[in-house]
Amino acid sequence: MRADFHAHTTYSDGSFLDWMVGAAADAGLSGIGLADHCNVSDRPAMRAHKLRYGYNLDLTYERRREAIETARGETDVEIYDAVEVDYHPTDQADIADFLAEAGFDYAIGSVHEVDGVNVHFPEPFRDRSGGERRAAVDGYFEDLAALVRSELFEIAAHPDIVERNEALRGIAGEDHYRRLAAAFADSRTVPEINAGRVTADYGRFHPCEAFLDVLAEYDVRVTVGTDAHAPQEVRDRVPLLREQLADRGLDPVSPFDV
């Protein structure tokens, strides 16, 4: 692992750009991709969410680009001007227009919305029946398959993110993994091994081992991202990602090679 392709700065919900780049150097990386959250949906609920949480990269990416250009002159670490875009099938045309206009080095696509709810919140799912939760997980994988088929992104983020939600954990299975692996096999989009919850309560990588087995069966290549929001997370997660890659015999692909 020579680069981390998924990290956040203060241009969304992460830490200072210089700190994240410094942490990449500390972790022995030669590159770091700054992939701040970005939502370009004009759906009222999504607009309200981004205003409330302050996700403004659609308005500030040129300013961040200027900062990246300055920072590039001060470090040996390669800094990639990337983005993590919220994906929903109804927003596809808006996302395509934005990505064409902004011209990032590469784009990560993420499904963060499950049945109209942010996947990080377990409460809305707790009172639902088993059938309703199953339908929510099915819907998540359908949207993720649509993301992969859209060909808008070099990387699909945290491909089984529903597992980090304790109310949705353990529902996904081989059928879901096979459908996704077939979609990845036909697409330029590669899944990432994402360390976003590996040192937290969930304690595993996305995708889980069973999903990785299926991806390997379909010869799907993978890339890597710490999904770090703080410099210490880069330093802590890179060695764990290296261990996981070695255990699985994986050589991660760069988004510049897809």
Which residues here bind Zn ion, judged by CB under 5 A? 84, 110, 157, 227
**Given the complex with Zn ion, which of 55 and 177 has the nearer CB atom?**
55
Helix axes 209-217, 174-185, angle to 10 degrees: 40
**Given the complex with Zn ion, which of 9 and 110 has the nearer CB atom?**
110
Classify burial at 97, counting beta carbons within 10 Å of its beta carbon; exposed 0-12, middle 13-18, buried 19 or more: exposed
Q: Give least dist CB 73 to Zn ion, A.
A: 26
Asked whether the beta carbons of 17 and 254 are under 8 A apart, the reply is: no
68 Cβ contact list (under 8 Å, min separation 6): 17, 34, 79, 81
Q: What is the distance between the alpha carbons of residues 200 and 57, in angstroms, rounded to a whole number?
A: 27
**Given the complex with Zn ion, which of 110 and 189 has the nearer CB atom?**
110
Q: Give least dist CB 217 to Zn ion, A.
A: 26
**Given the complex with Zn ion, which of 39 and 187 has the nearer CB atom?**
39
